């Protein structure tokens, strides 16, 4: 959305702080032996305590307050009592919500407990690439150039990007224009970031796959060639200088 008045910026800051804090607390709450359903319900209670409503539930009827993807799952993992977290699991939590007509979105991948499966390099690459991508965004920058930066950085780390998952505009709904802030460059895309707009920037960094495919449950996404995928996401306000990280309360770079 385009921020045209102070009340809109206040509204975006408020919901962004809520989803960021929810993500942070859910990461800290996750424990070996816990079900993803229990973790999701914990996140749902935090959102409710602030009067916020789960965006995936409102928008798509998603069966959970948050998306929790484990190991080979790339995104949109359904919280389940049967899915029990284990030492060394690669977990992704994506939290998006609405409050007073404003929407915000953020996500983070992390290793639970000891990194016994060596997932941390993939996690670190995703976090670092997102940081670099966002630090290069300002009004007038081509969206395609940020996609090129993300893919180039992924290759430097020895990884790939998922090409059919993307960042997006956010603010008055969960997904707005620009709809495809991709993790690679589409040369024909001449669209540019615009000052005073709010967007969700996401990295999808992969060991093997380049596309995400949907499982039979109608929600969960996995890589087309297997392996593992990490995602990190922040909602930002684009300016003519450094962007404002609206979801900084998630502390994913701490």
Q: What is the pLDDT of residues 185-228, one digit of tens each?
A: 999 999 999 999 999 999 999 999 999 999 999 999 999 999 99
| Backbone angles phi and psi of 192, in degrees to 5 | -125, 155
Six-digit token pair at 10?
């206040």
* Position 239 pLDDT exceeds 90: yes
**CATH number of the 6-250 domain:** 3.90.230.10
105 in a known ligand binding site: yes
| Backbone angle region of 27, left / alpha / beta, with phi > 0 → left and psi within -120 to 50 → alpha | alpha
Distance CA 209, CA 221 (A): 12
Distance CA 213, CA 38 (A): 26
User: What was the pLDDT predicted at 5?
Assistant: 96
The DSSP secondary-structure symbol of 146 reads H
45 in a known ligand binding site: no
| pLDDT band with cut points at 50, 70 and 90 for residue 254 | confident
Q: With beta carbons less than 8 A apart as the criterion, state whether 77 and 68 touch.
A: yes
| pLDDT band with cut points at 50, 70 and 90 for residue 52 | very high
Q: What is the pLDDT of residues 173-183, one digit of tens each?
A: 999 999 999 99
Q: What angle, rounded to 10 degrees, do the helices at 36-49 and 6-29 form? A: 150
176 in a known ligand binding site: no
Q: What share of the chain is helix, strand, coil (3-state, %, to 5)?
A: 30, 30, 40
Distance CA 173, CA 187 (A): 28
168 in a known ligand binding site: yes
* Position 138 pLDDT exceeds 90: yes
151 in a known ligand binding site: no
Burial 68-87 (b: 16+ CB within 10 A, else e): bbbbebbbbbbbbeebebee
Six-digit token pair at 186?
């589409």
Is 0.85 topped by the overall pTM?
A: yes
Parallel, antiparallel or unpaired: strands 53-54 and 90-99: antiparallel
Q: What is the pLDDT of residues 79-110, one digit of tens each?
A: 999 999 999 999 999 999 999 999 999 999 99
Quickly list H helices, 64-223.
120-135, 143-156
User: What was the pLDDT predicted at 155?
Assistant: 98
| Segment holding 9, helix H or strand E | helix 6-29
Q: Where are the domains of the chain?
A: 6-250
Beta bridge partners of 169: 176, 199
């Amino acid at each position: 959305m385009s921020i045209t008045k102070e009340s809109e910026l206040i509204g975006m800051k408020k919901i962004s702080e809520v989803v960021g804090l929810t993500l942070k607390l859910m990461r800290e709450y996750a424990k070996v032996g816990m079900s993803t359903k229990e973790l999701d319900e914990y996140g749902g209670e935090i959102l409710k305590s602030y009067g916020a409503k789960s965006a995936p539930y409102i928008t798509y009827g998603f069966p959970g307050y948050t998306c929790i993807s484990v190991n080979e799952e790339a995104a949109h993992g359904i919280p389940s009592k049967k899915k029990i977290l284990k030492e060394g699991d690669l977990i992704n939590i994506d939290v998006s919500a609405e409050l007073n007509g404003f929407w915000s979105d953020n996500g983070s991948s992390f290793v639970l407990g000891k990194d016994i499966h060596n997932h941390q390099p993939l996690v670190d690459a995703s976090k670092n690439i997102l940081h670099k991508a966002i630090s290069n965004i300002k009004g007038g920058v081509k969206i395609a150039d940020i996609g090129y930066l993300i893919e180039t950085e992924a290759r430097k780390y020895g990884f790939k990007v998922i090409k059919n998952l993307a960042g997006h505009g956010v603010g008055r709904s969960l997904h707005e224009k620009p709809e495809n802030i991709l993790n690679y460059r589409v040369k024909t895309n001449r669209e540019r970031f615009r000052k005073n707009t709010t967007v969700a920037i996401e990295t999808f960094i992969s060991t093997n796959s380049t596309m995400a495919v949907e499982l039979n449950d109608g929600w969960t996404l996995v890589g087309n060639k297997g392996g593992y995928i990490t995602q990190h996401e922040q909602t930002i306000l684009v300016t003519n200088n450094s962007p404002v990280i609206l979801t900084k309360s998630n502390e994913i770079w701490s």
